[in-house]
Structure 1
Amino acid sequence: MGRLNSYGVMGVLVLALLGTCHGELKMGFYDKTCPNAEKIVSDFMKEHIPKVPILAASFLRMHFHDCFVRGCDGSVLLNSTSNSTSEKEANPNLTLRGFDQIDRVKVLVEAECPGVVSCADILALSARDSVGVLGGPFWKVPTGRRDGSVSLRAEANAQIPAPTNNFTTLKESFANKSLSVKDLVLLSGGHTIGIARCTSFSRRLYNFTGVGDQDPSMDSNYVANLKQRKCRTQTDNTTIVEMDPGSFRTFDLSYYRLVLKRRGLFTSDAALITDSTSKSLVEDLTNGTPEDFFKEFAKSMVKMGEIDVKTGSSGEIRKHCAFVNS
């Protein structure tokens, strides 16, 4: 499969190489202290994601946003306090959904094993299991993360990649977290199950450079369709648009095919074909099989899940995901 390498592997791709230890995280961290922890998370997702499929995209995005600010420490789950405004209230996180569901999973896990399983691990497992319910890959999640106690809106606003970012900015943002261009392309594939409000990309349709023009990098027929059927005004902040029309409930390669057709919603989607390396990776993906994509996506998710984790005596195990322990 070119740069992504071709593997003749079918099925859900439980990768042996992902079963090894990753730094201070390790497979089966809760095997003795809370052996049913992963099953509790998995069962919850199997029950609830079919009812509200879009939550899978939200859990995936929530995990991504968490890891990009202070590492994968569950800080995105914390509520604001009288002394500080949390990441939840940062612009990139205002459209996240599913915090209540994560809290519900935490309650179930606490009932089984009080004070043992971190919210950061619950979020990492929820992202994996919800993707699996929609037909995506299964990957082994090394656990042992501990929860952080600091959550700042300003940090989230500054560090989470924006849908308006160009390739140079995206590449730098990912490199700051030790993620490669290949990781950028693969993790962008999560948009295959995503949705977006019109306001997050309407500038591309109505006023790209401030003179009432549209983004020339976006397919003109797609622009016309969106303006006619979905985003009828630039200020529409309620209408939802599928990022992978007709396939947003299935984890597949359709997103990349749309990007190559210049039909990605975000500037950050379009950016993937403005660089020769990333464009070649996108082309390799579309020429390969879903199994190839699943394998590589899984590896990038594990890599992302290791960003600046707190382990050992660092951090805490929160009793409630929205609050630090008193």
Structure 2
Amino acid sequence: MASSRVLLALSLALLTLTVASLPGTPTALSTSYYNKRCASLQPAVRSAMARAVASDPTTAAAVLRLFFHDCFVNGCDASVLLDDDTTTNLIGEKSAFPNANSLRGYEAIDAIKSAVESACPATVSCADVLALAARDAVSLLGGPSWNVRLGRLDARIASRDAANANLPGPGSSLSSLLDAFQRKGLSARDMTALSGAHTVGRARCATFRGRAGGGANGSGGEVINATYAAELRGACGGGDGAVAPLDVATPDAFDNGYFRALMERRGLLHSDQELFNGGSQDALVRKYARDGAAFAGDFAKAMVRMGNLAPAPGTPLEVRKYCRRPN
């Protein structure tokens, strides 16, 4: 009887090992996943990301945003990087409404992936490259660093409809933001910390014109600093494509300036100011505004949790050699 149980246990262990080794089968994420597979991976990503940021500091915010928009749509599977392909009827996420006129940084990821392929051919997924690049983007701008769990695979498919349905928009209310993050298994604290990514980067006038045109009050009824509203109206004089910094004080430094701006009623987007508008997150915004270390620590933890979002069971997966198309 005992020997039968031993044989059964060994058989199950062998089956588990066999399934985990099949191409396209997700594995548990681990900080040591590439230690033997590609020991030079993280230095290669860091070096390529550093070159991109040195050439254009705004690339860091762009890459960070790519990671968010990837993970929030069917998990962290690099589907956001796929180009449309009429020959295979692939309609990707790049043309979704939240992405079409705002996402960029694809060329930076292409360059990083190329460097990684040179070091370790057909080994590292684009999803893992993007996760590492996002971490390095933050730290290169003076923000926190964290140990990235690795072992993701790349989707062979993408969904424009899912991108349109899952990504919170600039006009989102606090309740809709909380709901969107909760549906991903992320807490209210995670949501507020991750929103702090808006301490870097810029947004198009099309996303904040309602705030700019509201005088002392934005279109959603939230209070906006009158001087700031006038500045935004000036920025929008250049049309919908004109941009303004999400954190007017330090737009290319990853710090807690975003939260200080919210307390001053200088949130660029309606969804930003909703975090400090007499609601449930006001106290946390105040804490982050006065304690940058607390924000940095919570942001790093929330990035790890968001990075754990996995594609749905049955999603066709692989390690893409080129991030813009399936193999």
For the pair 1:225 / 2:231, whether they are aligned, the reply is: yes
Aligned to 2:33: 29
For the pair 1:161 / 2:164, whether they are aligned, the reply is: no
Deviation per CA, 1:43-99: give whole Å up to 9, x if none. Answer: 111222022111111111110010000100000000011113210111211211110
After superposition, residues 152-231 of structure 1 pair within 5 angstroms as 152-206=159-213, 215-227=221-233, 229-231=234-236
TM-score (norm 2): 0.86
Cα deviation for residue 103 of structure 1 reads 1.1
Deviation per CA, 1:96-142: give whole Å up to 9, x if none. Answer: 11101111111111111111100000000000001111111111101
Q: Give the Cα–Cα distance (whole angstroms) in 2 for the partners of residues 197 and 265 of structure 1.
A: 10
5+ residue gaps, structure 1, are: 1-22
What amino acid sits opposite 1:232 in the alignment?
G
Q: Give the Cα–Cα distance (whole angstroms) in 2 for the partners of residues 62 and 282 of structure 1.
A: 24
Aligned to 1:15: none
Cα deviation for residue 214 of structure 1 reads 8.1
Find the residue that maps to 1:92 and give its secondary structure. coil
After superposition, residues 118-137 of structure 1 pair within 5 angstroms as 118-137=125-144
Bigger relative CO (Cα 8 Å, ≥ 6 apart): 1
Equivalent residue for 2:270, pick from 255, 263, 267: 267
5+ residue gaps, structure 2, are: 1-26
For the pair 1:85 / 2:68, whether they are aligned, the reply is: no
Aligned to 2:62: 58
Q: Give the Cα–Cα distance (whole angstroms) in 1 for the partners of residues 293 and 223 of structure 2.
A: 30
Q: Give the Cα–Cα distance (whole angstroms) in 1 for the partners of residues 253 and 107 of structure 2.
A: 24
1:275–1:304 Cα change, 3 Å: farther
Q: Give the Cα–Cα distance (whole angstroms) in 1 for the partners of residues 237 and 137 of structure 2.
A: 32
The answer to whether the Cα contact below 8 Å between 2:139 and 2:145 also exists between their aligned partners in 1 is: yes
Percent identity, aligned pairs only, is: 39
Find the residue that maps to 1:241 and give its secondary structure. strand
Q: Give the Cα–Cα distance (whole angstroms) in 1 for the partners of residues 304 and 320 of structure 2.
A: 23
For the pair 1:247 / 2:250, whether they are aligned, the reply is: yes
Aligned to 1:298: 300
The answer to whether the Cα contact below 8 Å between 1:78 and 1:86 also exists between their aligned partners in 2 is: yes
Number of residue pairs aligned between Structure 1 and Structure 2: 296
TM-score (norm 1): 0.86
Aligned to 1:280: 283
1:162–1:66 Cα change, 3 Å: same
The answer to whether the Cα contact below 8 Å between 1:256 and 1:285 also exists between their aligned partners in 2 is: yes
How large is the RMSD of aligned CA atoms in angstroms? Answer: 2.1
Larger Rg: 2
The answer to whether the Cα contact below 8 Å between 2:48 and 2:111 also exists between their aligned partners in 1 is: no
